[in-house]
Amino acid sequence: MRGLWRIREARTVAILLAEILFFTWYLWPDAGRAHPFLNGANGLLILKYSSVYGIAAVGAAMVIISGGVDLSPGAVIALAGVVAGKLFVEGGHSLGLSLAAGLSVGIIAGAVTAGLVVLVGLPPFIGTLGVMGIARGVAFIVTEGRFFDVSGLLPPGWKPMGIPVAWIAPAVMIALGVGFQVLMNGFQWGRSVYAVGGNETAALYSGIAVGRVKTSVYLLAGTLAAVAGVVLVVVQGQGKADLATGYELDIIASAVVGGASLSGGRGSVLGAVLGTLIFGVLRNALPQIPGATFYDRLIVGLVVIVIVVMDQLMARPSK
Amino acid sequence: MSRLEFHDVHKSFRAVKALRGVGFAIESGEAHAIVGENGAGKSTLLRILAGSIAPDQGGMSLDGARVRLHAPREALTRGIGVVHQETMAFPNLSVAANVFAGREIISRAGRLQERAMHEKTRELLARLHLHVSPDAPMDSLPAAHRQLVQVARALVFECRILALDEPTTSLTDAETEHLFAILEGLRARGLTLIYVSHRLPEVFRLCDRITVLRDGTHVSTLRRADVRPADVVRAMVGRDLPAREPGARPALEAPRLTVAGLTRRPGFERVSLALRPGEIVGLFGLVGSGRSELLETLVGLHAPDAGTMELDGRAVRFRSPGEAARAGIVLVPEDRQGQGLLFNLGLADNLALPSAIVRGVVAIDRGGEKRSGEEQIARWHIKASSVEATPDMLSGGNQQKVVLARWLATRPRVLLLDEPTKGVDVGAKYEIHGIVRAVAAEGAACLVVSSDLPEVLSLADRILVMREGRLQGEITAAAATEESVMHLATHASIEAA
């Protein structure tokens, strides 16, 4: 049990379970009525809405572990979403082609970020701040204020590869979370990301191709944000330019709650995904508490601080 | 009554017991040396003295009264000034701001009295015979001056006890002389000095008594008049050191690495040298003579302006240390904390990483790396609680052995070492020398950069001397003396005369 407790992801799971238990107890209904929080449909809803954050958080966690920070995922989500939406709804292109175009937007955004950070040498905060502005701006230019509802045009009962539409987003999030967790911990590429974030100079002296590692991280982060964007337009159908505004800070907060250190070298992809679920549960349960409507942002802010402080206390060596 | 006394001090960092019951007294007005190998607990003791860490057990008394320090500030206000090894300073601030950090002169309205601090700093620096402007940014100063600024800081706080941790590591001989003259002067005015060093000649010159620590315990406190350096060394390492073996001279094989006319301005110019398999070549020169930059250029960290490199007769050019390592040329860097180790990863990862890069590993074999890490820790006598420990839990000498071991695991054909025993104690130094000899005996060509002349003389088969970016000459080990090497390193060559 103590051994399990030392695994960072296990602690994040424990926090998530405690949170679920709390809301289950707090929102316990009167006799004979269905539980408003603890039911299958609500669980799926939480997963579905969290997965947009979760998919992008996979990339954000890797950027943070590599010693950087990414402010662009919210804007890239929106741009990928509206590009895919416009091609599909207005352009009449096939769904496959539209989604591929959305994804390539993310690859381009990632490549621009990588160029600014690795070649030009801008601090990641500044480079991604610029990309955030550009991506959001292009999204407004592309839409000219219009709205593209992809989900409305999908065939009813559509099941790509036998997966119901509602399950696509969570399935993509879980697959990417687990896949990149393995890549980060079992493969040399992932260890190089940790090394670059821990001490870039020592990583270079150790023979790691630092520039290539950072480039790959930003490319992946852009691509994953675009995946989140196309998932968002397919599942929720909202292809508009102000989509996912402010998500970048929630995504960074999720990665930090999941164990990432903004000074680099520490963190976990799976932890970041679990972190988005912690916030997903809060966003779902708080509005169900009468009178809590105006408090939810406040509570989300407090939760970030409490979890990180708790983690620092627990990470101290025991005598 | 003693000025300062340690009572049964214990301190552990996780599994590592840094201090295990250290107790001794320092008398008022004396110069007291604390010596010991790396990991003996000297720095930990100083950090407790400075109030930056608290002992787990035991404590200290000042003028007979027990004190417990909770922060470095409390030490300063009680008259204890500690000049740490990695000079803790604010490189972006001025000299005056560094001297007064935490004790700024402030008007009643809360405004900083810049002029008063400026004047006071000027006065203090003059007392230390240091001719720098109080407004100069700290990072524009050479290491020796930064150290003296820290001494000035201790004087601002009117310290009665001044402790220095390895103050001469990065100083030239002339700078060391200057520092010593100042320390003698301070002592004559009644200051109690605590001097932590590996360098026994300095200790014997400056100090009245010598406390020897070993493995976190107090071995003995000796009067200088009663002992010889060899006795102190024996007390430090707990055994007699082996006499140096002459070492087998390598056969005259074809050169493994040939460098011709290599130039990178302003670091070094027209450097030509050849390294043969099995040979240890020393590269001696004063700090700033371009040696580190030469090694960094050889492994592709910098692009040369001109010149060629051949490995086993084939022209090579590297764009990164990774490329160089794949070809068999590795650099063990000078700064183990900044360039050598990854403090966010465990020892198993640190030890395995360069060889994983060289072999082009894709999926990591954790079990295999753990076993090979344990094997390396045992083979090189690295003192660590486990392979999962992070490098910050290791002493400096053991960290250095990890940096060396991780590169040896790549089985290099050319081994470049930059100051391999800098800040390392006698015992670890001999161990590292033994490792380098063993690697050379297995056929690697070794180039050792060092500012430590006895080290170069005892380790190298032949010695290249560099001055102001140019090779000044070559001396065989048999013909080399301290004087002949030093002469080349400090004087213009004949052609220039």
Which residue does chain A place closest to B403, by CA atoms? A206
Buried b (16+ CB within 10 A) or exposed e, B151-179: bbbbbbbebbbbbbbbbbbbbbeebbebb
CA dihedral B162, B163, B165, B168 (to 10 degrees): 40
Which residue does chain B place closest to A209, by CA atoms? B322
The whole-number pLDDT of residue B492 equals: 46
Q: List the single best residue of A182, A196, A205, A213 to mutate versus B (max B Cβ within 10 A).
A: A205
Mark yes or no for CB contact B345/A201 under 8 Å: no
What is the arithmetic mean of pLDDT over B164-188? 82
| 3-class SS of residue B408 | helix
Whether B152 shows a pLDDT value over 80: the answer reads: yes
Which residue does chain A place closest to B345, by CA atoms? A195
The whole-number pLDDT of residue A288 equals: 85
**Is the Cβ of B301 closer than 8 Å to some Cβ of chain A?**
yes
Minimal CA separation from A246 to chain B, in Å: 31
The whole-number pLDDT of residue B493 equals: 43
List of chain B residues whose C-beta atoms are within 8 Å of the C-beta of residue A202:
338-342
- Residues 308-337 on B with a CB inside 8 Å of A are 320-322, 324-326, 331, 333
The whole-number pLDDT of residue A4 equals: 67
Distance, in Å, from the CA atom of B341 to the CA atom of B404, rounded to the nearest integer, reads 11
Distance, in Å, from the CA atom of A114 to the CA atom of A126, rounded to the nearest integer, reads 12
Q: Which has the closest alpha carbon to A199: B320, B303, B390?
A: B390
Max CA separation in chain B (angstroms) = 77
Q: Which has the closest alpha carbon to A72: A119, A46, A105?
A: A105
Phi, psi of B62 (to 5 degrees): -115, 120
Q: How many CB pairs under 8 A join A and B?
A: 79
Whether B89 shows a pLDDT value over 90: the answer reads: no
The pLDDT mean for chain B works out to 86
Distance, in Å, from the CA atom of A306 to the CA atom of A308, rounded to the nearest integer, reads 6
Distance, in Å, from the CA atom of A208 to the CA atom of A195, rounded to the nearest integer, reads 9
Mark yes or no for CB contact B364/A186 under 8 Å: yes
Which residue does chain A place closest to B358, by CA atoms? A207
Minimal CA separation from A248 to chain B, in Å: 26
Whether B468 shows a pLDDT value over 90: the answer reads: no
- Least CB–CB distance from B344: residue in A186, A205, A265: A265
DSSP B306-357: EEEEEETTEEE--SSHHHHHHHTEEEE-S-IIIII--TTS-HHHHHHHHHHH
Over pLDDT 70: what percentage of chain B?
93
CA distances from B496 to B241, B288, B474, B484 (A): 43, 20, 17, 18
Minimal CA separation from B268 to chain A, in Å: 21
- Least CB–CB distance from A188: residue in B321, B345, B361: B361
Minimal CA separation from A281 to chain B, in Å: 32
The whole-number pLDDT of residue A307 equals: 86
**Is the Cβ of B345 closer than 8 Å to some Cβ of chain A?**
yes
* Digit-coded pLDDT (tens) for B332-390: 998 888 899 999 999 999 999 999 999 999 999 999 999 999 999 999 999 888 999 99
Which residue does chain A place closest to B351, by CA atoms? A206
- Least CB–CB distance from B325: residue in A207, A264, A317: A207
Mark yes or no for CB contact A202/B340 under 8 Å: yes
**Is the Cβ of B449 closer than 8 Å to some Cβ of chain A?**
no
Which residue does chain A place closest to B346, by CA atoms? A195
Beta bridge partners of B13: B16
**Is the Cβ of B361 closer than 8 Å to some Cβ of chain A?**
yes
What is the arithmetic mean of pLDDT over B271-293? 87
Mark yes or no for CB contact B363/A188 under 8 Å: yes
Whether B247 shows a pLDDT value over 60: the answer reads: no
The whole-number pLDDT of residue A210 equals: 96
List of chain A residues whose C-beta atoms are within 8 Å of the C-beta of residue B333:
205
The whole-number pLDDT of residue B239 equals: 58
* Digit-coded pLDDT (tens) for A194-221: 999 999 999 999 999 999 999 999 999 9
- Number of alpha carbons in the 13 Å side-chain half-sphere of residue A231: 26
What is the arithmetic mean of pLDDT over B311-320? 93
Mark yes or no for CB contact A199/B349 under 8 Å: no
Distance, in Å, from the CA atom of A254 to the CA atom of A304, rounded to the nearest integer, reads 8
Whether B471 shows a pLDDT value over 80: the answer reads: yes
Mark yes or no for CB contact B342/A265 under 8 Å: yes
Q: Which residues of A touch B (CB under 8 A)?
A: 186-189, 191, 194-195, 197-199, 201-209, 264-266, 317
Q: If 0-12 CB within 10 Å is exposed, 13-18 middle and 19+ buried, where does residue B70 land?
A: exposed
The whole-number pLDDT of residue A166 equals: 80
Minimal CA separation from B361 to chain A, in Å: 6
**Which of A32-46, A100-114, B12-26, B199-213 is modeled with the greatest confidence?**
A100-114
Contact call for residues A113 and A69 (beta carbons, < 8 A): no
Q: Are strands B209-214 and B257-264 parallel, antiparallel or unpaired?
A: unpaired
List of chain B residues whose C-beta atoms are within 8 Å of the C-beta of residue A318:
none
* Positions in chain A whose pLDDT score sits under 50: 317-319
Mark yes or no for CB contact A201/B339 under 8 Å: yes
Range in A70-74, B123-127, B285-289 with the lowest mean pLDDT: B285-289
Buried b (16+ CB within 10 A) or exposed e, B451-478: bbbebbbbbbbbbbbbbebbbbbebebe
Which residue does chain A place closest to B12, by CA atoms? A319
| B494 confidence band (pLDDT: 50, 70, 90) | very low
List of chain A residues whose C-beta atoms are within 8 Å of the C-beta of residue B406:
206
Distance, in Å, from the CA atom of B177 to the CA atom of B238, rounded to the nearest integer, reads 31
CA dihedral B320, B323, B327, B332 (to 10 degrees): 50
| pTM of the predicted structure, to 2 decimals | 0.78
Beta bridge partners of B9: B22
DSSP 8-class letter at B129: T
Minimal CA separation from B336 to chain A, in Å: 9
Mark yes or no for CB contact A205/B364 under 8 Å: no
**Which of A111-120, B80-89, B129-138, B393-402 is modeled with the greatest confidence?**
A111-120
Crossing angle for the helix pair A188-198 and A210-235, nearest 10 degrees? Answer: 110
Distance, in Å, from the CA atom of B145 to the CA atom of B428, rounded to the nearest integer, reads 29
| The residue to which tokens 């082996």 are assigned | B242
Which residue does chain B place closest to A264, by CA atoms? B344
Range in A174-183, B40-49, B317-326 with the lowest mean pLDDT: B40-49
Mark yes or no for CB contact B321/A207 under 8 Å: yes
Mark yes or no for CB contact B344/A197 under 8 Å: yes
Q: Which has the closest alpha carbon to A233: A32, A124, A90?
A: A90
The whole-number pLDDT of residue B306 equals: 93
What is the arithmetic mean of pLDDT over B473-481? 81
DSSP B411-432: --SEEEEESTTTT--HHHHHHH
Beta bridge partners of B16: B13
Mark yes or no for CB contact B343/A198 under 8 Å: yes
Residue A297 tokens, joined: 């942002």
**Which of A146-160, B47-61, B150-164, B197-211 is modeled with the greatest confidence?**
B47-61
* Digit-coded pLDDT (tens) for A263-287: 999 999 999 999 999 999 998 998 8
Distance, in Å, from the CA atom of B327 to the CA atom of B38, rounded to the nearest integer, reads 34
